[in-house]
Amino acid sequence: MSMLRPVEAIRADFPAFESTAGEAPPARFDGPGGTQVPRLVIDAVADYLARHNANAHWHFPASERTDALVAAAREAFAAFVGGGPDEIVFGPNMTSLAMHVARGLGRQWVAGDEVVVTGLDHHANVAPWEALVVERGVVLRWWEADPETGALDLEDLPPLLSGRTRLVALGGASNALGTLSDIAATARVAHAHGALLFVDAVHLAAHRSLDVTASGADLLACSPYKFYGPHAGVLWCRRELLEAIEAPRLRPAPSTGPERLQTGTPSFEAIAGGAAAVHWLASLTDAPGGMRDRLVATFTALAAREMALFAHLWDGLGQIDGLRRFGLPPGPGRTATVSCTLAGEAPLATAARLARHGISASHGNFYALTAAERAGVHPDGWLRLGISAYTTHDEVDRALAALAAR
Ligand SMILES: Cc1ncc(COP(=O)(O)O)c(C=O)c1O
């Protein structure tokens, strides 16, 4: 197995972890809400703005460099998802991209057509399809997850499908409970019924390598700011589908290729930074081969390191009086993100208490609203702790000690 850089070396890439005035920086467990950014990414953003800034498609140097940079970023993200560069669409975030393609797909659907959404998903993968209930008379079917573990049972899917099912909207991994979904198996079931599969890979992409070709997905969206990049969204869309979706577009804008699904001028600096994040991830192991091989090696090694730390966190949480852990125990079925509640203390109060101990953790429903309702934690939600590439054993110990100290 290829060697992953030690966590201290990884942390040295992040200005956010430099101590200021001798004070240790906060331990950042808020990765599932957005990770910190390595210097390489910050430099790529700044360099674009300082030296290449221009709009695309003109014949002067800065514009030509912008076109070249976007083309190179499409190559990087193609390697990241395992698809083709001409299938990579850029947008401001995953939610906007999902809203946009849902609207486009919906234009070709009629009243009575059906879409399956899950009770586990972030509402960015529910609301775009729900909007079509009002706009197109689409019928929504709910694939419910086990409220405690967050696991979706594949056996529950076929009865929800019919000849009218147009699409299944699946979360690749739950940003609240960490549960991983079986994308390939879901694709097979959806396709057997003539339905498309849209995958929300926003949480998944931070913890596992993606493979749109092997998984059989038709569309997949992710957000570089969850995997060490700037705030942006990326959509992969299968080539033939990309040319067929009738999403709203300006008549003078490109009518073919990935730009037909983009709206307006994208953030070129965020595209530059996003590509730099992919390169940074690929540099974390010494694996031989091309960019894709190195990304796969990085995520294989990162997932193992994150899960070892997570097991320590999970066990420690289990020792704390009144603390309730949600989701599956450490293992292959989940990412290293856990949500929990403490008896007698609202998650907001716990998060504020942790902040006083130098621990940054998120609280609330994380827009996985249905999952929070089904788990019975609505409206307060959970406290969420996420392990990232830069999390240390010592930080986990500090978080556990802070949680226990009340
Ligand atoms: C699983 C999941 N899906 C979708 C989103 C929305 O992503 P974006 O902020 O890029 O719209 C998030 C953001 O937290 C998420 O965690």
Query: Domain map of the chain by residue range?
Result: 7-29+290-404, 43-281
329 three-state secondary structure: coil
Residue 21's pLDDT is 79
Interval 295-315: pLDDT, tens: 999 999 999 999 999 999 999
Inter-CA distances, 313 with 107, 156, 205, 208, 367, Å = 47, 32, 22, 20, 24
Between the two ends of the chain, the Cα-to-Cα distance in Å is 43
> How far apart are the CA of 3 and the centre of ligand 1, in A?
30
CATH number for domain 43-281, candidates 3.40.50.620, 3.40.640.10, 3.40.50.2300, 3.30.390.50: 3.40.640.10
> How far apart are the CA of 223 and the centre of ligand 1, in A?
7
Pairwise CA distance, residues 278 & 282, whole Å: 6
Note the helical H segments in 107-157.
127-136
Overall average pLDDT of the 327-340 stretch: 98
Residue 20's pLDDT is 81
Inter-CA distances, 225 with 145, 150, 154, 210, 233, Å = 27, 24, 30, 16, 8
Interval 337-356: pLDDT, tens: 999 999 999 999 999 999 99
Residue owning tokens 């529910």: 126
Take atom 15 of ligand 1 and give the residue whose Cα is closest. Answer: 202
Residue 369's pLDDT band (cuts 50, 70, 90): very high
Closest alpha carbon to 163 in 194, 129, 197: 194
Asked if CATH classification 3.90.1150.10 holds for the domain at 7-29+290-404, the reply, yes or no, is yes
Residue 212's pLDDT is 98
Ligand 1 atom closest to 34 (CA): 14
Residue 272 has pLDDT above 70, yes or no: yes
Check: CB of residue 227 under 8 Å from CB of residue 204: no
Overall average pLDDT of the 324-340 stretch: 97
> How far apart are the CA of 198 and the centre of ligand 1, in A?
14
129 three-state secondary structure: helix
Structure tokens at 290: 């091309």
* Averaged pLDDT score across all residues of the chain: 97
Check: CB of residue 52 under 8 Å from CB of residue 67: no
Pocket test for ligand 1, best of 117, 220, 223 (most atoms within 8 A of CB): 223
Residue 2 has pLDDT above 80, yes or no: no
Interval 50-105: pLDDT, tens: 999 999 999 999 999 999 999 999 999 999 999 999 999 999 999 999 999 999 99
Residue 1 has pLDDT above 70, yes or no: no
Residue 362 has pLDDT above 90, yes or no: yes
Pairwise CA distance, residues 196 & 124, whole Å: 17
* Cβ count near 134 (within 10 Å): 8
Global pTM reads: 0.98
Residue 135's pLDDT band (cuts 50, 70, 90): very high
